[in-house]
Structure 1
Amino acid sequence: MADFAIYPSLAGTPVIISGGASGIGAALVRNFAAQGAKVGFVDIAVDAGHHLAAELTGAGHTVGFIACDVTDIAAYQTAIASFAAAHGDALVLVNNAGHDQRHDWSDVTPAYWDERMAVNLKHAFFAIQAVAPAMIAAGRGSIINTGSISWMVMTPGIPVYEAAKAAIHGLTRAMARELGKSGIRVNSLVPGAIITERQMTLWLDDKALAGIEANQALSGLVYPDDVARMALFLAASDSAMISAQQFVVDGGWAHA
């Protein structure tokens, strides 16, 4: 953290993060914890979630983990209530959970469509619904919805995922208007090709990495911490008059 900003307004702030056990989510958990925030996160990866929470708690941070499938809305809203009981009502929500499973458009069934929307879009709305009343009562809050450049650059093989991620920005702008007069900011955080363990294992071979280098304006790779640092700014009071916007962290690739 020594080379990067410290945000005093995040110290002691209750934060909820979905999909926080690995990849970008784990970077979010680590970075918010390092700012002194009280972090609660959920994930279906039980062992990884418990390990991360134990590591950060052992280092003196306030971090809690609840194993939860965000597509089970009742269970997820119950987890949010549990974090509120432990840490105080959330003043920051990061809707990070998602899954970019590859699929052929011609094979998509109504059931598959619904399942993909549930994991990539639906939970974000109902998490907002769960945290917004307390934020309204407090007169402040920051909600950060995670999008993707995939629909902007027309990545092949994930049309339903792209539809959900394009909808994230519509949800962001709609809820920014709904909640803004109560002092709540809602923004989209849009990662590019992020170098996570999962992406390296499944998709990012030498050819793909060369394609990233060719498409980005900046040389070099984008890592989860790069995304997390933008989330910190959007959560902190430093961005007090920023809402209904989308912030792309992609090395200068997409044009929205």
Structure 2
Amino acid sequence: MAAIYGDLAGKVVLVTGGGSGIGEAIVRRFAEQNCKVAFIDIAREASEALADELAGKGHRVRFEHADLRDIAALRAAIARIAAALGPVEVLINNAAHDERHATPEVTPEYWDERIAVNLKHQFFAAQAVLPGMQEARQGVIVNFGSISWMIGQGGMAAYTACKSAVLGLTRSLARDYGPYNIRVNAIAPGWIMTQRQIDKWLTPEALRELEQRQCLKRKIMPDEVARFTVFLASEEASACTNQQYVVDGGWI
């Protein structure tokens, strides 16, 4: 049974990339906290099914369809969420896409697209919600990074560049907005067993590497990241800001 944090009840929470994977687990956990949960995703069918399921259980959940690479669409979606639910009080910048790419094949256009899908929207989502948080003199932003750049993972240089940049973005925002009692942290997941990861990369060889490198000799699941995310958004973590927290089963 996961912890319930009474201070989160009624809070307006926005999760990017909330339709599947870690984002879906985060949406579910915030819904269980009796938050007003909004999420943005490009995958309409799965996202609508999730929103309908949670609404059927009595939770207040709103799905907005948008391609986060389109900043105008992102801003419009956030404006609709604020109009329907109120100003965003907790922002979870989760959306990303870890597509592999060989360095010799990367074009300027592909590089820009990888930046757009993995980093750029985090800044502009924060920019959109920060005025409301400043007015309220409180708020929480959690940006999702990755351990990939910390372990020197190859085969996706644009992705690891973005994920290392998340820490710099996090620390800058935490410094600028701390005087308004706005906390900004990053979470760096390890290899989390989303369905995408299982389908694409969970080979016997990869599983042996996991068992060798992780301290915990088991798979780490999306809900384990979600539960930590909820904790970080709660007042139980009221003095935590300007930090990156690793959730990886002890890989690094």
Tell me which residue corresponds to 1:124: 122
Tell me which residue corresponds to 1:144: 142
**1:105 is the counterpart of 2:103:** yes
| Code of the aligned partner of 1:163 | A
Runs of 4+ that moved beyond 2 A: none
Q: How far off its partner does 1:249 sit?
A: 0.5
- Taking only the aligned residue pairs, the percentage that are identical comes to 53
Match of 2:188 among 190, 204, 207: 190
CA deviation digits over 1:103-131, x for unaligned, max 9?
00111111111000000000000000000
**1:76 is the counterpart of 2:74:** yes
* Equivalent runs, 1:84-103 vs 2, <5 Å: 84-103=82-101
Distance 2:173 2:159 in 1: 21
* Equivalent runs, 1:96-245 vs 2, <5 Å: 96-245=94-243
Contact 2:188/2:244 (CA < 8 Å) preserved in 1?
yes
Tell me which residue corresponds to 2:5: 7
Give the paired residue count.
252
| Code of the aligned partner of 1:111 | E
* Superposition TM-score, scaled by structure 2 size: 0.99
Contact 2:10/2:36 (CA < 8 Å) preserved in 1?
yes
Q: How far off its partner does 1:85 sit?
A: 1.0
| Code of the aligned partner of 1:48 | A
Structure 2: gaps spanning 5 or more residues: none
Tell me which residue corresponds to 1:41: 39
* Superposition TM-score, scaled by structure 1 size: 0.97
Distance 1:195 1:166 in 2: 21
SS in 1 for 2:183: strand
Q: How far off its partner does 1:133 sit?
A: 0.2
- The range that moved more, 4-13 or 120-129, is 4-13
Match of 2:251 among 245, 250, 253: 253
Provide the alpha-carbon RMSD of the alignment: 0.7
SS in 2 for 1:248: strand
Q: How far off its partner does 1:30 sit?
A: 0.3
SS in 2 for 1:64: strand
SS in 2 for 1:152: coil
Distance 2:65 2:125 in 1: 16
**1:60 is the counterpart of 2:58:** yes
| Code of the aligned partner of 1:4 | A
| Code of the aligned partner of 2:187 | L
Q: How far off its partner does 1:218 sit?
A: 1.3
Tell me which residue corresponds to 2:23: 25
Distance 2:37 2:68 in 1: 17
| Code of the aligned partner of 2:117 | V
Contact 2:210/2:217 (CA < 8 Å) preserved in 1?
no
CA deviation digits over 1:195-243, x for unaligned, max 9?
0100011111111111111101112110000100111011111111110
Distance 1:202 1:155 in 2: 17
Distance 2:101 2:126 in 1: 28
